[in-house]
Amino acid sequence: MADENEPNQDAEEDEGIDEDALMAEWEQMAAGEEGGSSTRVLDQDEIDSLLGVDSDASGQGEQSAIQAIVNSALVSYERLPMLEVVFDRLVRMMSTSLRNFTSDNVEVSLDNINSIRFGDYLNSIPLPAMLAVFKAEEWDNYGLMTVDSTLIYSIVDVLLGGRRGTAPMRIEGRPYTTIERNLIERMVHVVMGDLSAAFDPVSPVTFSFERLETNPRFATIARHANAAVVARLRVDMEDRGGRMELLIPYATLEPVREMLLQMFMGEKFGRDSIWESHLAGELWQTEISLRAVLDEVEMTLGDVLNLKVGDLLQLNVSQDSLVSLRCGDVKMFHGPMGRKNGHIAVRIQNKAARQGDVA
């Protein structure tokens, strides 16, 4: 019997030792935190888990709290409903204009519209690409259009008579030639014309082409921390195509921000047409006072203060002079003065000429 109880006793002793060691470890960690230093060291797996980095090859995992906090620093601005309508209108117009430009079946689609910091966008541009800087003349600010390499080679291939059914040849690691730049510049002019026409219902604006760059550093049109709206377009030409992105800083859209906030064209915030009609009708019933002024005499302040009872003021008018009828300080009519039914009366003869009237 004694031999059977010995294992149980050993297990209890081991459990007691583990509990004592665990308590000692907790006390040591607590003492370290109170003393301002901790001996806890995180390994790489714990750091990846804390930062939300997935260690497997798929790279698809749920975002952790820290990664959500980091991503919350992204730009989140108010939506501009009318801007979405403008880009939808641009897509329809570009489909027609690019068909005429390339003499091919072109389909343009709008992938998404989102807000981003300008610096983050420059860092996300896949190179090689062409960046067209354009200016909004009436708004006195700039925008950016990015054409990726796939669309560049597709446009060049179509315009130079490439055969259908064959994918365009891509030659990486070389600068774009003058012919390629000139052809893409012609396409940019077509898109700029469509963009100007798309904004016409909101506000007349002219987008003019400024320059064509291949280095994003030379296409800086705003500070890196400034917010901008990016519209990503997809251009398909049967078996060829590519992507195009339009970036417009919020500073450029500021002059028409109020109109872009509307849900539909002609929307007027806080306006009641019924109240306006009622107010206009009641204004016609408003009672005002008219004053008949015989003449005006200019005197110094000293002469006015020296006037006494019995003094006479000589008016430079006669019986045939016209009397001025005034509403407040505004001259309304002129007319001769006479009598009617024992009362002094003024007959309106003509309308007084007021400042701003056209002769």
Domains within the chain, CATH numbers bracketed: 81-260 (3.40.1550.10), 287-351 (2.30.330.10)
- pLDDT band for position 273 (cuts 50, 70, 90): confident
pLDDT at 105: 87
pLDDT higher at 7 or 121: 121
pLDDT at 324: 86
13-53 residue pLDDT tens? 555 556 677 677 767 666 655 555 556 677 777 777 666 65
Would the pLDDT of 317 be above 70?
yes
pLDDT higher at 354 or 227: 227
pLDDT higher at 73 or 85: 85
Residue type, 332: M
pLDDT at 14: 52
Range from 133-147, 239-253, 291-305, 340-354 carrying the lowest mean pLDDT: 340-354
Concatenated DSSP letters of 318-358: -TTPEEEEEETTEEEEEEEEEEETTEEEE---EEPP-TT--
- pLDDT band for position 265 (cuts 50, 70, 90): low
167-202 residue pLDDT tens? 555 556 678 888 889 999 999 999 999 999 999 888
Residues 37, 29 contacting (CB under 8 angstroms): no
The SS3 call for residue 102 is helix
Distances (CA, A) of 103 to 11, 158, 168, 237: 87, 8, 17, 10
For residue 318, what are its two tokens?
């006669």
Phi, psi of 322 (to 5 degrees): -85, 145
Closest CA to 194 of 98, 290, 330: 98
Q: Residue 90 belongs to what H/E stretch?
A: helix 81-102
pLDDT at 29: 65
Strands (E), the chain: 107-117, 129-136, 141-148, 207-213, 227-237, 240-249, 291-293, 322-327, 330-340, 343-346, 350-351
pLDDT at 350: 80
How many Å apart are CA 253 and CA 139, to the nearest integer? 8
Q: Residue 203 belongs to what H/E stretch?
A: none
- pLDDT band for position 160 (cuts 50, 70, 90): confident
How many Å apart are CA 351 and CA 325, to the nearest integer? 10
Would the pLDDT of 306 be above 70?
yes
Would the pLDDT of 237 be above 90?
no
Q: Which residues contact 290 (CB under 8 A, 6 or more apart)?
A: 325, 326, 327, 332
For residue 267, what are its two tokens?
């929307």
- pLDDT band for position 61 (cuts 50, 70, 90): very low
pLDDT at 166: 58
Mean pLDDT, rounded, for 241-250: 90
pLDDT at 201: 85
- pLDDT band for position 147 (cuts 50, 70, 90): very high
* Residue 275: alpha-carbon gap to chain centroid: 32
pLDDT higher at 58 or 329: 329
- The DSSP letter of residue 141 is E
Concatenated DSSP letters of 66-83: HHHHHHTTS------HHH
Mean pLDDT, rounded, for 278-307: 86
